[in-house]
Amino acid sequence: MALEEKLSELGYKLPSPPQAAGLYKPVLINDGVASFSGHLPIGIDGVMITGRVGVDLTVEEGSRAAIQVGLNILSSMRAELGDLDRIDRVCKLLGMVNAGPGFTQHPVVINGCSQLFFDLLGEDNGVGTRSAFGVSGLPGNAAVEIEGSFILKK
Residue count (the chain)? 154
- In the chain, the amino acid numbered 64 is R
pTM above 0.85, yes or no: yes
E-strand ranges in 3-137 read: 27-30, 33-39, 87-98, 129-135
- In the chain, the amino acid numbered 78 is R
Query: What strands, in cross-sheet order, belong to the sheet with 27-30?
Result: 27-30, 33-39, 144-152, 87-98, 129-135
The domains of the chain, with CATH numbers, are: 40-151 (3.30.1330.40)
Tens-digit pLDDT string for the chain (154 aa): 799 999 999 999 999 999 898 999 999 999 999 999 999 999 999 999 999 999 999 999 999 999 999 999 999 999 999 999 999 999 999 999 999 999 999 999 999 999 999 999 999 999 999 999 999 999 999 999 999 999 999 8
Which pLDDT score is estimated for 119? Answer: 97
Query: How far is Cα 42 from Cα 64, in angstroms, rounded to an integer?
Result: 11
